[in-house]
A = this chain, B = another copy of it.
Amino acid sequence: MNTPIVLSQRAQALTSSAIREILKVTERPEVISFAGGLPSASTFPVERLHAATDKVLTDAPQAALQYGPTEGFAPLREWVAERLTRAGAPVPASRVLIVTGSQQGLDLLGKTLIDEGSKVLVETPSYLGALQSFSLFRPAFASMPSDDGGIDTDALTPALLDGARFMYCLPNFQNPTGKRLSLERRKALVAKALAAGVPVVEDDPYGELSYGGEHLPSLLSLNPEGGIYMGSFSKVLAPGLRLGYVVAPEPLYAKLVQAKQAADLHTPSFSQRIVYETVRDGFLDEHIPTIRDLYAHQCQLMLQALAEHFPPAATWTRPEGGMFIWVTLPQGIDTTALLAQAIARNVAFVPGAPFYATDPQVNTLRLSFVTVPAEKIETGMKVLGELVSEAIAALPASAVAA
């Protein structure tokens, strides 16, 4: 017998993503999917992880299988603090919280920082999963204008920043656009945020995936005492372990720990110890370049395919790292309609509209180039190019001119 269940207002506001439903068909093997947000499974260091797992289950099985501290496995927190310090952001391990994937960091930040109606500044567009997490706490999103270089820091006026609970940024090879913020803009952004008293939340899953290997200072390194930073092992090791971390200043850190305790007590001791065992001897420094090389090559292939198959009225980003290219089509084209046509021809991508917190640009789309084998990138992009050309041809002449 079914009791009628009264849902909370925040649950009522949750809507099933139409796109998520469409994308379920992309799991069919015949579909060439540029839609995924997944890293390439070919990069997972299986043998290394297996050896680490053996060691953990031999040396300390009972501790690895028992409850652990909410803050995380102490040696892993130390390792994170040391790595960030070496990268120019000196932070103590006492301000590192291990989380169950950096997605959990978003949920904890939403819980501890957002009241109903709180102003939250996000990029245009921004990471869909962050918008979903924050939305549960019913903020009033305000969009930070963006141009080819990412957040347009000149547009960060005192009026826009005033009263915001925080500013959410992905400065490195942003999801969904692939854009990287320049050093000048990083400095301007942090200075303006400090002047306005707005905490900066930096989400950095792709920072290590710079194809050239060159490194720009994190926003955290420009304000190590005050910055809030999220890192992840999903893109440099493997996402199926669900392991990330949050760095935050006191007293926010203590509140995050309490919220984390209520959320899942702690991140699995088992996976924390395996990852620590895997990375402790500098393994990432030899492993990450192999991921970069693969992704750089695949990105190049997709950029070539775009140049060859897409009409001149389309524009796209040219990432120097990460996993995504962002395509903008002429006004008047709705990429959700285009997706239905593409799926009919066994190709998939993600329409851009859901990545906007306000004023969705329906003529945009996101392409991932990392999980599709090289030979299929050309095949899939040719199909997409044809569909885009057809869609442009079908537009009224006035729309194309605009």
Q: In the bound complex, what is the Cα–Cα distance between A380 and B305 (angstroms)?
A: 73
CB nearest neighbor in B for A255: B11
Q: Looking at the complex, which one of B103, B106, B252 makes contact with A7 (CB distance below 8 Å)? A: B252
Q: For residue A268, which residues in chain B have a CB less than 8 angstroms away from its CB? A: 100, 240-242, 268, 271
| Number of copies of this chain that the complex holds | 2
Q: Looking at the complex, which one of B9, B41, B67, B118 makes contact with A65 (CB distance below 8 Å)? A: B41
Q: Looking at the complex, which one of B10, B65, B112 makes contact with A239 (CB distance below 8 Å)? A: B65
Assess whether B136 is in contact with A241, with CB atoms less than 8 Å apart.
Answer: no
Q: In the bound complex, what is the Cα–Cα distance between A258 and B5 (angstroms)?
A: 16
For the complex formed, measure the closest distance between the CB of A201 and the CB atoms of chain B, giving whole angstroms.
Answer: 11
Query: Which residues 52-81 of A sit at the B interface, judged by CB distance below 8 A?
Result: 53-54, 57-58, 61-68
CB nearest neighbor in B for A224: B1
Q: In the bound complex, what is the Cα–Cα distance between A132 and B58 (angstroms)?
A: 35
Assess whether B68 is in contact with A11, with CB atoms less than 8 Å apart.
Answer: no
In the complex, per-residue mask of A92-111: 1 if CB is within 8 Å of any chain B CB, else 0: 00000000110110110001
Assess whether B266 is in contact with A263, with CB atoms less than 8 Å apart.
Answer: no
Q: Looking at the complex, which one of B53, B103, B262 makes contact with A136 (CB distance below 8 Å)? A: B262
Query: Which residues 208-232 of A sit at the B interface, judged by CB distance below 8 A?
Result: 223, 225-226
Q: For residue A265, which residues in chain B have a CB less than 8 angstroms away from its CB? A: 101, 103, 129, 242
Contact flag A61-B50 (CB < 8 Å), given A7-B113, A199-B5, A240-B270: yes
A151 is an interface residue with CB less than 8 A from chain B: no
Q: In the bound complex, what is the Cα–Cα distance between A200 and B5 (angstroms)?
A: 10
For the complex formed, measure the closest distance between the CB of A330 and the CB atoms of chain B, giving whole angstroms.
Answer: 33
A160 is an interface residue with CB less than 8 A from chain B: no
A-to-B contact residues, CB < 8 Å: 1-11, 14, 16, 37-39, 41-42, 44, 46, 49-50, 53-54, 57-58, 61-68, 100-101, 103-104, 106-107, 111-115, 118, 129, 132-133, 135-137, 165, 193-194, 197-200, 223, 225-226, 234, 238-242, 249, 251-252, 254-255, 258-259, 261-271
List of 3 A-B pairs having minimum Cβ-Cβ separation, nearest first: A65-B238, A240-B269, A41-B62
12 contacts between A and B (CB under 8 A): A3-B200, A7-B251, A10-B111, A14-B259, A16-B258, A38-B67, A44-B61, A46-B57, A101-B264, A103-B262, A242-B266, A263-B263
